[in-house]
Amino acid sequence: MTSTTSLSRNGARSMAQVSLFAALMAVMGLIPKIDLPLGVPITIQSLGVMLAGVMLGPWRGLQSMLLFLAAVAVGLPLLSGGRGGIGVFLAPSTGYLLGYALAACITGAVMYALQKSPQLSPRRTAIHAFVAALIGGLIFEHLFGMLGLMAMAKLSFAQAFKATLLFVPGDFLKCILCAVIVHTVARGMPDWRFGGRHD
């Protein structure tokens, strides 16, 4: 009975966290976007992808982004600028959008691996978060974005690579901000299971 209760509580906690980070993405969508000529706007929502991965781990990070994208697909205007609906997945930005789920998963997997360190501190956890966000939330997210630009905007690899470079400075700053947020959480909530560790 105790084991069943524990599993039930863990399941409820996981569902709550997944829903929370999907909602966080929606809130970030209220922040105005910056439109670029290539059809892919600059938004703050990529920070939400990074945070979902480092805070929840690969599986729940993936789930939270899939939940968010499903809400967008059914028409809820949750993307920056009040965008939503199937049409947004047929635009040049489709690679970045579909990459949200995969990037969160990769970010979470990297964070999980790094958090196996025997000596963890808020500072070290923040460094791990920066590295995970850099690999999953910046490198892989932009790789998916490039594939989308090549498929939807018919750009060459070189053109897509040059286009995505416009986002790198801002996303690098988001990696730093992600690490700062994680450091704060690690100090205030030392039992938080970053990267899904110990789940």
Q: Residue 92 corresponds to which tokens in the numbers above?
A: 């040049």
CA–CA distance from 46 to each of 121, 139, 170 (Å)?
26, 12, 10
DSSP 8-class letter at 32: P
CA–CA dist 56, 51 (Å, integer): 8
CA–CA dist 108, 59 (Å, integer): 8
Reported as a single tens digit per residue, the pLDDT across 18-45 is: 999 999 999 999 888 887 776 678 889 9
pLDDT of residue 177: 97
* Predicted structure pTM score: 0.91
For the chain, what percent of residues have pLDDT higher than 70? Answer: 94
Domains, the chain, ordered by start: 2-196 (1.10.1760.20)
Q: Three-state SS across 120-154?
A: CCHHHHHHHHHHHHHHHHHHHHHHHHHHHHHHHCC
